Amino acid sequence: MSELDPRTREVDRRLTMKKGRLTGRYRVRERRVDWMEKRRRDRRDSRFDTRRSPFRWKKLHPRNISVIYLAIIIVVGFAIWIPDTWLVWGTHRFYLNNEAIRAIVALGLIVPLSAGVFDLSIGGVISASAVTTSWAVTIGEWPWPAAVALGLLVGLGVGLLNGFLVVKVKIDSFIATLGVSSALGAYALWLAKGRSIINGNEGFKAISGVAAAGFKWTFVYLMILAVIVWYVFEHTAAGRYLFATGGGRESARLSGVQVDRYVVGALVTSALASAAGGVLFASNFSSVNASAGPPYLLPAFAAAFFGSTQFKNRFNVVGTLLAVFVMAAGVKGFQLVGWGNEGWLDDLFFGLALVIAVGLSTYRRKVHGGRRRWWRPTESGPDRFLGRLLGWGSPRTEASKRNAEEWWFDPEDREGYHLKPPKD
C-alpha cells in the first residue's frame, strides 16, 4: 500500500520487503520514497527518448555538450594565437558560407540514420546531381529552373531506388546504398565524358550568390532546412515514429507504425538533400566533374555521429550543425596558422571526429544507460578490465567457491540472493 503526498500527489511512502541485518528474515516495512531514487527509477535509458525534462546541472557535463566546450577552446585559443586574422568577421563568415552545402547533406543524412538505416549513396547523388544539372544548363542549353528540377529528380529517383532495394528486396542498407553510389559515380563519369563541365549561366549562379550581410543563399537554404527538420524531429508524430523505427524496427511494426514507409521516406529525404547539395555545388563552382561528391561522404557521417553524442544522445539538428561548424572553425584556424594547406587537415579532423564519436556512443550504451562508472565494482564487474585486474565479483571464500559450482548460482545477481539455495 502506498501513500500520496497531498501537495505533489506523488507516491511518498510505500510498503517494501526488507531483510533484517541480525535475523536475516524478510519483513514488511514502510519506506519513504526519496525524490532522487524516484528520478533514477523513472529515467529512460533509450537514446531515442523525446520527452521534455526540466533543466539539470548534469546537462552541462562535457559528456553532453562537449562540442560547446570545444568551440570555446577553439575560439579562445586562436584568438590568443592569431588575433590579427582570427578576430575578423570575414574569417568566420567564410567558413559558414563554405560549409553550408556540407551541413545540408549532413542534415539530410541524420533522417535515415534516425530510422536505423545507412545511406552511403550521398556522395554519388551529389556527383550525379551536380553533373546532370551542369550538363543540362551548359550542353543541353536548358533553362536553369528546368535543369535544377532535373537535378532534384535524380535525387528523388535514387531515394526511391534505395528504398525499394532495402524494403522490398531486403538488401542491407549498407550494401544497397554502397552499390548505388558506385553506379551513380559511373553515370556521372559517363555523362561528363571524363572531363569538367564549365558553368557560365549567370542566372544559375545567382541561386548560390550573396543574399544579405555577406551570407550566401546556400546558408539561407541551410537555415530553412534546419528549422524544418528540427520541427519534424521534435514536434511531430512522424519524428517520434522515425525514432521508434530506428530504436527497434520489429517493435515499432508491432506497435502499429508503418515502418516500411518511414524507411523509404527517410532514404528519399536523404537523397533529395544530397541532390540539393549537388545543385548548389554546381551553382557555386564554375567547374563540375564526377569527383565532386565523394569528399562529402566522410564529413557528413562524422558530423551526424558527433552531433548524436551532444544534447539528446540521439541524432539531432543542433548537434549536427554545431559539429559541422566547430570542426570547420578548427580547420580554418590551423590553416590560418599555416598548417594543412595541402588539404590533409580537413580529412584528419573529420576522420578523428567520426572515430571518437562512434566510440563514445558505443561506450555510453554498454552498461546502465551509458552511466557506468569504471571505478565502482558494482558497475564494472568481473567482465571488465579493471574488474578482472582487481578480482571483482570472483569467489574468495571457500563457501563462495562452493556456491559458484551449484546450479542456482547467479553471477549477475548484485543483491546476493544466490548465496543461499531456495528452500521448498
DSSP string for residues in 118-187 = --TTHHHHHHHHHHHHHIIIIIS---HHHHHHHHHHHHHHHHHHHHIIIIIS---HHHHHHHHHHHHHHH
Whether residues 28 and 144 share a domain: the answer is: no
154 and 255 within one domain: yes
Examine the domain organization and report whether 341 and 207 are in the same domain: yes
The set of residues, in sequence order, having a beta carbon less than 8 Å from that of 291 and lying 6+ positions away, is 127
- What's the CATH code of the domain at 78? 1.10.3470
**Nearest CA among 277, 62, 267, 255 for reference residue 151:** 277
DSSP annotation of 323: H
Query: Average per-residue pLDDT in the chain?
Result: 80
Task: Answer whether residue 110 shows pLDDT above 90.
Answer: yes
Q: Is the pLDDT of residue 55 over 70?
A: no
Q: Where are the alpha helices (DSSP H) in 236-373?
A: 237-247, 249-254, 259-284, 297-308, 317-337, 344-364
pLDDT digits (tens, 9 = 90+) for 281-300: 999 888 898 888 888 998 89
Report yes or no on 56 lying in a domain: no
**Distance separating the N- and C-terminal Cα atoms of the chain:** 28
For residue 225 the three cell numbers come to 532546412
Specify if 217 maps to a domain: yes
76-85, 203-212, 270-279, 331-340: which is most confident: 270-279
Is 61 a domain residue? no
Q: Provide the grid cell at 99.
A: 560549409
Cα–Cα distance for residue pair 104/226, rounded to 1 Å: 8
Instruction: Give the model's pLDDT for residue 152.
Output: 95
Q: 255 or 398: whose pLDDT is higher?
A: 255
| C-alpha cell recorded at residue 192 | 561528363
- Let me know whether 253 and 401 are in one domain: no
pLDDT beyond 50 at 45? no
- Do the beta carbons of residue 353 and residue 347 sit within 8 Å? no
Give 81's contacts (C-beta < 8 A, 6+ positions apart).
Answer: 333, 337
Q: Give per-residue pLDDT as tens, 332-388.
A: 888 888 887 777 887 887 888 778 777 766 665 554 444 445 445 555 555 555 566
Task: Please tell me which residue, 393 or 221, carries the higher pLDDT value.
Answer: 221
- Give the confidence band of 275 by pLDDT, cuts at 50, 70, 90: very high
Rounded Cα gap, residues 244 and 237, in angstroms: 10
Whether residue 419 is predicted with pLDDT greater than 80 in this model: the reply is no
C-alpha count within 13 angstroms, C-beta hemisphere, residue 377: 9
- Please enumerate in sequence order all residues whose Cβ is within 8 A of that of 249, keeping only pairs 6 or more positions apart, or say none: 116, 259, 263
The predicted structure's pLDDT at residue 279: 94
Which of the two residues, 56 and 99, has the higher pLDDT score?
A: 99
For residue 97, tell me if it sits in a domain: yes
Strand order in the sheet with 2-4: 2-4, 11-19, 26-32
What's the confidence (pLDDT) of residue 157? Answer: 95
- Span 1-9, mean pLDDT? 55
Task: Look at the chain and report how many structural domains it folds into.
Answer: 3
pLDDT digits (tens, 9 = 90+) for 135-148: 999 988 899 999 99
Contact 166, 176 (CB under 8 A): yes
Same domain, 416 and 347: no
Least confident of 33-47, 189-203, 308-322, 396-410: 33-47
Task: Note whether 127 and 1 are same-domain residues.
Answer: no
Q: Is residue 266 pLDDT above 90, yes or no? A: yes
The domain boundary residue, chosen from 315, 345, 365: 365
Predicted local confidence at residue 411, as pLDDT? 62
Is residue 273 over pLDDT 50?
A: yes
Are 126 and 245 members of one domain?
A: yes
Domain that holds residue 387: 374-424
pLDDT for position 368: 40
d(CA 155, CA 146): 15
With respect to residue 153, please indicate whether it lies within any of the assigned structural domains: yes
360 and 380 part of one domain = no
| Residues 348, 423 within the same domain | no
Of the pLDDT bands very low, low, confident and very high (cuts 50, 70, 90), residue 309 is: confident
The answer to whether 124 and 190 are in contact (CB under 8 A) is no
CA distance 65 to 307: 10
Is 52 inside a domain boundary? no
Same domain, 356 and 397: no
33 and 157 assigned to the same domain: no
- Residue 60 placed within a domain: no
Same domain, 378 and 360: no
pTM above 0.85? no
Q: Rounded mean pLDDT of 207-232?
A: 91
What pLDDT was estimated at residue 348?
Answer: 83
Q: What percent of the chain has pLDDT over 70?
A: 72
Do the domain assignments include residue 45? Answer: no
The grid coordinates listed for 280 are 548548389
pLDDT of residue 369: 45
